Amino acid sequence: MGYKVLLSKRAQKDLDKLDGTVVRMILKWLKKNIDDSDDPRIHGKALKGNLAGYWRYRVGDYRILCTIEDDRLIVQVITINNRSSVYERK
């Protein structure tokens, strides 16, 4: 039994603002690499500094910021945005 991906309201709003092609690309990547994965950390990177505790996934020019809850096997997507602005929004 692997991890499940959950989108926060903010992440859903971020997706609603993006082009349909980009949304499909991001959701496909999440489903393929994270959903039902035994270890979601192998595809991401732990963030440091004021974003410590969050994980980042790269999908093209977009970044997905998440938290990983090991006790519940959940990857909670916090925000999705272009790499140039994703870190300043958190």
Task: Count Cβ atoms within 10 A of the Cβ of residue 18 and give its class: 0-12 exposed, 13-18 middle, 19 or more buried.
Answer: middle
- The pLDDT, as a whole number, for residue 20 is 94
Mean pLDDT of 14-36: 96
What is this structure's pTM?
Answer: 0.90
Q: Give the pair of three-digit tokens for residue 81.
A: 């945005």
What pLDDT, in 10s, does the model give residues 43-69?
A: 999 999 999 999 999 999 999 999 999
Q: What is the pLDDT of residue 85?
A: 83
CA distance 7 to 21: 18
Count of beta carbons in the 10 Å neighbourhood of residue 57: 21
pLDDT value at residue 32:
96
Tell me which architecture the domain covering 4-85 has in CATH. 2-Layer Sandwich (3.30)
Residue in this structure with the two tokens 């903010």, named with its chain if needed:
10
**Residue type, position 82, single letter:** N
Nearest in space to 68 (alpha carbons), one of 88, 39, 90, 89: 39
